[in-house]
A = this chain, B = another copy of it.
């Protein structure tokens, strides 16, 4: 077995409109690369970070914290070096910290001969995620590690369901280059919500799960509705309503905030529609003075992979 592994750790979309805090899916064309290396010297060392300015001390780095949690639990007879080639911008709302937190433990697990299953890996990765977001959650980690669409049924004890991915679903994303503080996007949410809105939301969650199982694209479209979170958080994202309108007019099945934003995602049936949607939303943002990037991606049903 090699002493070194290079991996692709993908970006992910959490919430998926109706499934705040529980649903997520995995992207394919956006992600970090990481190299994990077994060393004789014990401990966890981050030896290289490219792309963004992040801390090298393992205990202050998301990838380092998850690696340390796993390392301290397994106490292997070796150490690990981690190189991070960061391509997902921190704070973009597409699982940047999750990609780091998941990547290090995935790589270590592979180098150790896969002693841990994916749920156990996710549990360790949640320790790193907590460094970034101040709470242990798995709605980005689950799709990064399992691939496809996932449902975090419960965070403690951790229980992750792998949902089916219809063949022709493609994602479009726009990342407006603005900063939304996670604390702000949490603080803007109400503690209580109307029961009637909650009912509409769980009807849509049940309906989306059914639609994924039956590859019913019309029903996917009718289920990608968020009556609970979007009315609050969209205020933090300039031109959200215009992007959504343009995306739906261009044929998207749905359009909603990715995670806590500022990225916005759309799902479409077919890559051609996903690209038409990308064109439509680029036109909306081109008329503003906000920098932005857009992406089109198939749904990555594999999750993190060895390169």
Contact = CB atoms under 8 A, between A and B. Distances in A.
A159 interface: yes
Minimum-distance CB pairs A-B, first 9:
A202-B202, A198-B198, A192-B192, A202-B205, A209-B209, A205-B206, A213-B213, A22-B203, A153-B207
Contact of A201 (B151, B163, B202, B208): B202
Nearest to A159: B222
- How big is chain A's contact interface, by range? 35 or more
Contacts of A152: 203
Nearest to A152: B203
A231 interface: no
Interface of A: 18-23, 151-154, 159, 161, 163, 189-195, 198-199, 201-210, 213, 219, 222-223, 228
A161 B193 contact: no
A12 to B, nearest CB: 17
Contact of A210 (B199, B202, B209): B209
Q: Is the interface of A mostly helix, strand, loop or mixed?
A: mixed
A1 to B, nearest CB: 34
B18 A202 contact: yes
Given A154-B203, A161-B219, A198-B202, 11 more contacts: A18-B202, A22-B206, A151-B210, A152-B203, A153-B203, A161-B210, A190-B195, A192-B194, A206-B206, A209-B209, A213-B213
A191 B196 CA distance: 8
16 contacts: A19-B206, A20-B199, A21-B203, A22-B206, A151-B203, A151-B207, A151-B210, A153-B204, A159-B222, A161-B207, A189-B195, A190-B195, A192-B195, A193-B195, A202-B206, A206-B209
